[in-house]
Chains A and B, each alone.
Chain A
Amino acid sequence: MQNPERRSALRYVGGLLLSLIGVALSVPTAIYLLDPVRRRRAAAPGPDPGSAAAAGAETTAGAPANMEAVPIATLAEVPDIAQGQAPLQVPVIVDGQHDAWNRLEKARLGSVWLCKSGERLSCLSAVCPHAGCGIDFDPSRRAFVCPCHGSTFAMDGQRQEGPSPRDMDRLDVQVQDGKVLCRYQRFRLATGTKEPV
């Protein structure tokens, strides 16, 4: 025990053991904690037929990447801004949405500003591209205004002033049997380009 060589060898052994234990604990920790990130990625290109988890559809909160269009309003309800009406804010409600362990019925994903100008339908996400606040409509200015940092957008969603890096996010809409269907999506915030999350 008093032999210095042996003690220095022991130091190496001790150091090695300590590192091994550290690695043995941190690798599973990292894999486990990265699960939600992996799940999100796996969701993006569509369900992976090989994984059992994919069988239960996707699980992260928010809209799945391949979400189908869901009815949000009847065509008759859609206000015509050409006739001076104010756009309509409608919630997007979806069945069978997954949130981690839960399957939700009638989950509220978010809301959209819906209007038409003549025959042209317009559906804009109410999420401000700047920092994610809910965009409001100011009837006196006939413009969309974000209540948080004051970004304003024209009736067609075009950025007018304020810190928002881009126009309001336009969503796909279609009309089927007198119903307006919307494919709801969320986009990355605070970037100049519109990329789905």
Chain B
Amino acid sequence: MHFTRLQQRRGDASRAAMSVDTQTVLRIASLARIAMSEEEAERLKPELNNILGWVEQLGEVDTSGVEPLAAVIANHTRMRDDVVTDGDKRDDILANAPVAEHGFFAVPKVIE
């Protein structure tokens, strides 16, 4: 396998990395609204830690005084005119709905 060198670099970084525990994995899954059992979280944990450890090598880069990239290619915001050009297509909007009733999307009842 020819990735040994790159993998070694990854290994170094992951050793330094703060690692994510099962509870954190579950919290992230809940934030992302992905149902997850403790066993699944347990299985995912080392994978996530590997990836996070690997990306943490970015910490080596001195970015002081560097602005985050704002636009990939220099380009300006174009502003739309304030005119009604769309809407009035309820059938299209609801066509793929798992449950639609009386012109509404329907979801399990929400108690506020």
A and B interact physically = no
Interface residues of B (CB under 8 A from A): none
Q: Which of A's residues lie within 8 Å of B, judged by CB?
A: none
